[in-house]
Amino acid sequence: MTEKFSLQHIIREPKEATNKAPLLIMLHGYGSDENDLFSFANELPDELFIVSAKAPYSMQPYGNAWYAIHFDNNNGKFSDDLQAIESRDMIKDFIDELVAHYPVDSENVTLLGFSQGSILSYSVALSFPEKVKNVIALSGYINEGILHQDYQNNDFSNLSIYCSHGSVDQVIPVEWARKIQPILNQLNIENTYSEFPVGHGVAPQNFFELKDWLKKRI
């Protein structure tokens, strides 16, 4: 992609051209890339302008990350929150770049994230709710350490969030995900939370549910 953009990405244009298409931005998980979530782009509503972004940090031998995860023998694993905040702000700027460059509606932006991409989706939407209308957060959690200072004072009246998690997730414990809905309820954010009997992935019934949820909100 050209230097106009903070993040490399691939796109799927709407089936019918329009000046104000609803925009959906896909944010992949740790160690993956922009092709991962994009594989089901054609299953999503035709009117969407879909952008799948590539995380900025390259991993060896392949894949990308939004921020480093350090595996420490003493404390288990922990996230590089400074890198995560940099990626959060990069995604915020990327939304503005997409709106300026493509025929999309700045007031109808959905973030769809998986795992690390889901954690970043929460961070962007809760820190900058004026940029985002909907969030589909799959197999993630809210990391309060990467939210904007005083985020609780933001206006969340136009924000809706769909969260889902595998009840036997071996990567991100379901207990972490179960803390999400109480946080969103306290902020008066419209939200849906679902669990499915899978590990760290998206069950078919999960996909049908999120697609139905999205159709009603774009």
Q: Domain extents for the chain?
A: 9-215
| Ranges 75-79, 166-170, 193-197, 202-206: which has the least confidence | 75-79
- Asked if the model's pLDDT at residue 112 lies above 70, the reply is yes
> To the nearest whole number, what is the mean pLDDT of the chain?
94
pLDDT greater than 80 at residue 1: no
Closest CA to 156 of 187, 185, 110: 187
Separation CA 75–CA 55 (nearest Å): 26
Average pLDDT over residues 152-156: 97
Report pLDDT for 19: 85
HEC profile of 123-146: HHHHHCHHHCCEEEEECCCCCHHH
pLDDT in tens, 181-192: 999 999 999 999
Question: What is the structure's pLDDT at 76?
Answer: 63
Q: Which of 12-21, 30-39, 109-118, 136-145 has the lowest mean pLDDT?
A: 12-21
Pick one of 3.20.10.10, 2.40.30.10, 3.90.1150.10, 3.40.50.1820 as the CATH number of 9-215.
3.40.50.1820
- Looking at 19-28, 35-44, 62-71, 195-204, which range is the least confident one? 62-71
Lowest mean pLDDT, pick from 60-69, 76-85, 193-202: 76-85
Cβ proximity of 20 and 190 under 8 Å: no
The secondary structure element, H or E, covering residue 49 is strand 49-53
pLDDT in tens, 33-79: 999 999 999 999 999 999 999 999 999 889 999 999 877 656 666 78
